[in-house]
Structure 1
Amino acid sequence: SAPKPAFDTDGDLLEYLLNLGSIDRKDGLLVTWYHSANKKSELAAGLKSDVMVLEADVNIEGHNTPNETDKPIMAHPPAVYSDNSFQEWLDVVLNSSSKGIKLDFKSIKAVDPSLAILLKKSSEVKLNRPLWLNADILMGPNVPINTAVNASLFLSLIQEKYPNCTLSLGWTTLYSFLFPNKTYTQKMIQEMHSIVGTLPQRVTFPVRAVMGRLAWPHFSWLLAQSDRYSLTLWQGKTDPITVEDLLFIRDNSRAEQIYYDIYDPVLSQFKEAALNSTRKRFYYPGGNLLDYFHPADSDELWI
């Protein structure tokens, strides 16, 4: 088959997947994610799957132990050792797939050496796919102590060493069944915008899906601030998210503004409902009036 056209690492993920033929329109709901492709066996399973984007966690070997090195490895805390270094991981992914890449930095110490590896690799071969660099840079709901990655250092390292990426910038969060109504505050959202508003990159904001609907006025405001912004709704394994909450968010945003990194069975149920064109929609009164009268999937105004 003909070689695929070159694609820049800071390019739009939906555009890339559309070019690849993985999706047939720009809709974040169609994108699929493979979690924790860290160990060699996990990465191999991810590469074999038909999932479109590999998510993996980058830490520093022996992080916060006497044996700490400056070698980036693929491990999700509390693990600080791995059979897969970032260098090996990157080589395998680039050699054997066209999947998108999302790297989640679990420690600020891993960022500089990882960006150096990316830079060197980019000088040898074209990465030819979107690259998302993720970190939780602000304190979010229910978090008693600050475990966020240092925002100014993370962002300045990226601008200096590897700016050709999409930034994925989130808040540290805890979900508690005892306080189900605790969610993101206006202050948290505005603080994030004040940090990233002038950056040149596309930015996606990972949002804990179970808390998304209650904070929707703030996220709706955030999305309206820039065409570069999107949200990635994610689910903690035991978070009790509902199809209704996801439909509410979908109905009050554009299809290309929201990615859904959600587990089954909720994901499948949500997809089925969301893609049903006869479904009644849930409108948020603070939303875009034109979207209400002129739904994205229709050519006529509902008046």
Structure 2
Amino acid sequence: MTPGKAWAAAAGVAVVLVVAIVLSVSLTQGRGSQPECESCRPDGDMMDYLISIGRISHRDGLLVTWYHAANHRSEMEEALSSEVMVLEADVNVEGLDTANETGVPIMAHPPAIYSDNTLEQWLEAVLTRSRKGIKLDFKNIKAVGPSLDLLRKQTEDGRIQRPVWINADILDGPNVPLPVAVDATQFLSLVQEKYPDATLSLGWTTLYISLVPNSTYTQDMIEEMHRLVVDLPQKVTFPVRAVMARAAWSHFSWLLSQSDRYSLTLWQSDSDPVTVDDLLYIRKHSATQQIYYDLYEPVLSQFKELAQEGSGSF
């Protein structure tokens, strides 16, 4: 090969390499320039996340659907195969307060202290097979630290790309004769230390007995909670027993006005006589993005129908 031809061949190879490099960089930049899902992370906003994955159309807590106590494997499987958007599950410690206590976080609602499902197994199934939001409910402080360690490891491995709510009743509330709340100082300290990038779901212990006089939340209870969370960096949703909410609405309206980080999650025990009128009153006096409704049928469907008629559309 003559020197001229060799030079031309080398130049041709160089051009091909340059083109290949340029195309590679361009494609890489193109992928990197795609809009990111800001809410697809543990501390992401739940409504924004559900909008981003096409489950709801706009920011309205009434559009969000829930599955209660997705604890044992059969319950978890039912929840995973359902259309619900957020899975709520309870975390306890295996063999709690017995000679068989292991310290392993399991999926069980007290008084149950054994389960066929550990938190690690639960997370593996939920993260692998769904895009549902996660709400973990802690009734005992012993379960919190080990569970947050598991969540942090899964997050560091890039697996938790969805909102996570960490729930506990940290203050004693209406009609509760004995102090049974999770220690607020310990709980909040563990969250800040081990897994701060999540939404806090912080409530009051409650007791409601039908057909007898019941108290409701007081302004002092609400102000005590506000003092605990006012300087925290996280978004906070406050679980509120729906049957007691309207009677204390002035207090909760005040709480919501204190920060745009705050929301309420109205919840219902299966025997609570929640009325549609009370729910409509709360909806009328709040913004749609401020309230989640974790309620049972048939009240939920009746409420949705009337709320839709009142607003014209969802």
**TM value normalised by structure 1:** 0.89
Residue 183 of structure 1: aligned partner:
216
Aligned with residue 36 of structure 1, among 58, 64, 69: 69
Query: Are residues 1:193 and 2:226 paired?
Result: yes
Aligned to 1:139: 172
Give the AA of the match of 1:130.
P
The superposition leaves residues 207-263 of structure 1 with CA deviations (integer Å, 9 ceiling, x where unpaired) of 000000000000000000000000000001100010000000000000000000000
CA contact (8 A) 2:175 2:214 kept: no
Question: 8 Å contact 1:135–1:170 — kept in the other structure?
Answer: yes
Provide the rounded CA distance (Å) in 2 between the counterparts of 1:211 and 1:178.
Answer: 14
Q: Is the counterpart of residue 254 in structure 1 residue 287 in structure 2?
A: yes
The within-5 A match list for 1:45-56 is 45-56=78-89
Structure 1 position 230 matched with structure 2 position 263: yes
One-letter identity of the residue aligned with 2:229: V
d(CA) in 1 for partners of 2:298 and 2:231? 39
Asked if 1:11 is matched to 2:48, the reply is no
1:117 aligned to 2:186?
Answer: no
Contact 1:213 1:248 in 2 (8 A): yes
Q: Trace 1:55-204 onto structure 2 (pairs within 5 A).
A: 55-204=88-237
Distance 1:108 1:205 in 2: 19
Q: d(CA) in 2 for partners of 1:3 and 1:59?
A: 39
CA-CA distance at 1:175 after TM superposition:
0.3
Question: Partners in 2 of 1:202 and 1:105 — Cα distance?
Answer: 18
> Quick one: percent identity of the two aligned structures?
63
Partner of 1:240: 273
Aligned to 2:302: 269
Larger deviation, residues 244-253 vs 4-13: 4-13
Deviation at 1:178, TM superposition (A): 4.3
Offset, 1:5: 4.0
Tell whether the 8 Å contact from 2:106 to 2:119 is kept in structure 1 after alignment.
yes
Could you state the TM-score of these two structures normalised by the residue count of structure 2?
0.86
Q: Distance in 2 between matches of 1:49 and 1:264?
A: 16
Which whole-Å deviations, capped at 9, do the CAs of 1:159-191 have from their partners, x for residues lacking one?
A: 010001000000000002244441001110000
4+ residue runs of structure 1 moved beyond 6 angstroms? none
CA-CA distance at 1:76 after TM superposition: 0.5
CA RMSD for the aligned pairs?
1.6
Q: 1:32 to 1:180 in 2, by over 3 A?
A: farther
Task: Give SS of 1:272's match.
Answer: helix
Deviation of residue 65 (structure 1)?
1.9
Of Structure 1 and Structure 2, which has the larger fraction of its residues in helix?
2
- The residue number in structure 1 matching 2:12 is none
Query: Deviation of residue 126 (structure 1)?
Result: 3.1
Q: Is the 8 A contact 1:181 1:214 kept in 2?
A: no
Structure 2 residue runs of 5 or longer lacking an equivalent are 1-33
Deviation at 1:200, TM superposition (A): 0.4
